Amino acid sequence: MTASAAAHELAQVNIARLKAPLDSPQLKDFVDHLDPVNADADAADGFVWRLVGEGDDATDVPVFGDSWLIVNMSVWRDADALTAYVYRGRHREMLARRREWFERIQEAVTALWWVPAGHRPTVAEAEARLLHLRANGPTPYAFTLRTPFPPGASAPVAGEVPEGLGCSA
């Protein structure tokens, strides 16, 4: 690991629009798997931190002022660690079923960015990164697993988020 990599950690946010209330029968399997999937994340190699609300998950944390959106935010050692968790095991199984529980959103719903080691991002930071990605595509300020940038890249580069651009997710 380079000195730059050790000085930085990878933050990620993803949002999803619920198809039904969390306490509905339609979302029962999703809700029942939250604790085990979160426990897998907590134990994963390279996991650093995840956003939690009143319970041991973030389903009650508001995002974009929309009660039908839920947010997941975490920090990882690097993209390899995040990728290994996301596409393996129980999380992969739940990811394959996401259309049962969540609406399809045409805009970007996941953004990555580098933070100084030890920094824990806020939901406001995550919203800004997602809006930047939607407005500008992948840049060092907000990017995707498919279009990564190196550790330490985080300054906005491609202009500001246009006035009034909100979440139409």
CA-to-CA separations, 97 to 33, 78, 120, in angstroms, rounded? 12, 26, 29
Strands of the sheet containing 110-116, edge to edge, are 47-50, 69-76, 8-17, 110-116
Residue showing tokens 């956003």: 51
Tokens coding 130: 């997602």
- pLDDT tens-digit profile, the chain (169 residues): 555 557 999 999 999 999 999 999 999 999 999 999 999 999 999 999 999 998 889 999 999 999 999 999 999 999 999 999 999 889 999 989 999 999 999 999 999 999 999 999 999 999 999 999 999 999 999 999 999 999 876 554 444 443 443 444 4
What pTM, to 2 d.p., does this model score? 0.87
CATH match for 3-136 among 3.30.70.100, 3.90.180.10, 1.10.510.10, 1.10.630.10: 3.30.70.100
CA dihedral 74, 76, 79, 85 (to 10 degrees): -70
Q: Domain locations in the chain?
A: 3-136
Q: Measure the CA angle with vertex 77, ends 161 and 93; round to 5°.
A: 85
